[in-house]
């Protein structure tokens, strides 16, 4: 079934996506701004994955880079260029757009292209929560023998403006696009890795966009921060961990990622764009891909890791991965080991 999305759906998608971003997936204010831009132009369409044929091709659009980068910039023309050039490259076979993940911005990745290019959004992102690396949003394609990744990217303005095409090993192409995001001032828009609907059903996260919209409405329906958190926790079957003042907050940019830590009461969090670990007394209680998320209790807003400030009053919630709509990559031990290596470096810096 095809659904014409409303402005209210867009706002709900940003709030729900921000929560499912788990600390990453873009900044809330930028997502809300993008909703205004999209619906000032037209109305995107969301199509159920079951309405497409098994052999139909769709492609992923994503933003790659560090959400906190001050010089990030991607124009409408750059976003459309990457999709249109990809479609031309594969002989105009694309039937729809998928996003890479849920997040404040990433849930609505592709909605602008949907309006400008009259292409439907498929309700089956590559992952139902946000994740740090491009390969985690690549549907385990790297495990296919002789698979070659195809990626078109564009971003930046003035001297930072860059666009290009890369094809090759999926790990290498993902790293190359990450490097391109640094050259572009912090972020690029990418169209990558066409897949069949049949493959997407098996490895993606069907109905995770509509789930984010529903979660966003639930959050907005609360009148107080307590009600908002209760609504979120009920829908995701999560739990409230702690509320308090943020201390020991640090953020560094490394390799196109936001990496850092913070403390709330006796709870320590680390992040690599998304929150990676939750620990007490030096012992890790939970880690990615379980969903750890922070909320600014004074502004009553979900707040990602890059927007946290020392002294901010936040609430921390935790949702077990079994209650999320996740990609097959979130069970790939080889990919998750990369997280362990990053967190070991953070811990060596005595931030736990």
CA distance 212 to 278: 23
How much is the pLDDT for 340? 81
- The two structure tokens encoding residue 190: 């990418």
Whether 273 and 130 have beta carbons less than 8 Å apart is answered as yes
CA angle 181, 186, 192 (to 5 degrees): 35
Listed range (29-43, 62-76, 171-185, 194-208) with the worst mean pLDDT? 62-76
CA distance 115 to 292: 33
CA distance 187 to 181: 4
DSSP output for 168-195: E-HHHHHHHHHHHHHHTTSEEEEEEEEE
Phi, psi of 129 (to 5 degrees): -135, 165
| Per-residue buried b or exposed e for 68-96, using 16+ beta carbons within 10 Å of the residue's own CB | bbeebbbeeebbbbbbbebbeeeeeebbb
Q: What sign does the dihedral 19-244-336-272 (CA atoms) show?
A: positive
- The two structure tokens encoding residue 54: 């098994």
- The two structure tokens encoding residue 105: 């911005």
Which CATH fold would you assign to the domain 2-208?
CV3147-like fold (3.40.1610)
How much is the pLDDT for 217? 98
- pLDDT-derived band at 254 (thresholds 50, 70, 90) equals confident
- pLDDT-derived band at 134 (thresholds 50, 70, 90) equals confident
- Helix 28-41 × helix 7-20 angle, to 10°: 160
How much is the pLDDT for 237? 98
- Work out the average pLDDT over 300-329: 97
- Cut 0.85: pTM above it: yes
How much is the pLDDT for 68? 67
How much is the pLDDT for 58? 98
Mean of the per-residue pLDDT values of the chain: 93
* Nearest residue to 156 via CA among 180, 124, 132, 122: 180
Neighbours of 319 (CB within 10 A): 23
- Helix 208-221 × helix 225-236 angle, to 10°: 150
Is 238-348 in CATH node 2.40.390?
Answer: yes
CA distance 40 to 29: 17
CA distance 303 to 51: 35
**pLDDT at 351 exceeding the cut of 60:** no
How much is the pLDDT for 67? 62
- The two structure tokens encoding residue 307: 């927007």
Residues 6+ apart with CB under 8 A from 144: none
Residue given tokens 């090993």 in the structure block: 169
Which regions of the chain carry the CATH code 3.40.1610.10?
2-208
CA angle 60, 148, 26 (to 5 degrees): 30
Q: What percent of the chain has pLDDT over 90?
A: 82
């Amino acid at each position: 079934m095809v659904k014409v999305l409303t402005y209210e759906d867009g706002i709900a998608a940003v709030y729900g996506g921000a929560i499912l971003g788990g600390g990453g997936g873009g900044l809330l204010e930028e997502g809300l701004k993008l909703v205004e831009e999209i619906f000032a132009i037209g109305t995107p369409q969301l199509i159920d994955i079951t309405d497409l044929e098994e052999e139909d091709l769709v492609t992923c659009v994503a933003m790659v880079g560090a959400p906190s980068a001050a010089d990030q910039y991607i124009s409408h023309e750059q976003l459309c260029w990457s999709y249109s050039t990809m479609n031309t490259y594969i002989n105009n076979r694309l039937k729809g757009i998928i996003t890479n993940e849920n997040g404040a911005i990433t849930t609505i990745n592709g909605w602008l292209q949907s309006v400008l290019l009259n292409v439907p959004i498929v309700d089956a992102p590559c992952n139902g929560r946000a994740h740090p690396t491009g390969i985690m949003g690549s549907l385990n394609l790297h495990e296919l023998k002789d698979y070659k990744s195809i990626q078109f990217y564009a971003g930046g303005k003035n001297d930072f403006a860059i666009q290009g095409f890369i094809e090759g090993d999926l790990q290498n192409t993902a790293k190359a696009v990450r490097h391109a995001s640094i050259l572009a001032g912090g972020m690029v828009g990418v169209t990558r890795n066409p897949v069949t609907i049949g493959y997407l059903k098996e490895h993606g996260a069907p109905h995770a966009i509509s789930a984010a919209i529903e979660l966003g409405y639930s959050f907005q329906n609360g009148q107080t921060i307590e009600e908002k958190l209760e609504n979120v926790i009920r829908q995701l079957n999560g739990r409230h961990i702690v509320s308090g003042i943020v201390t020991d907050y640090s953020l560094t940019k490394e390799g196109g990622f936001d990496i850092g830590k913070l403390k709330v009461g006796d709870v320590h969090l680390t992040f690599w764009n998304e929150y990676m670990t939750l620990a007490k007394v030096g012992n890790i209680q939970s880690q990615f891909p379980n969903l750890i998320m922070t909320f600014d209790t004074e502004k009553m807003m979900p707040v990602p890791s890059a927007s946290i400030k020392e002294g901010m009053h936040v609430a921390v919630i935790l949702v077990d991965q079994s209650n999320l709509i996740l990609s097959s990559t979130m069970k790939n031990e080889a990919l998750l080991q990369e997280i362990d290596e990053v967190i070991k470096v953070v811990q060596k810096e005595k931030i736990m």
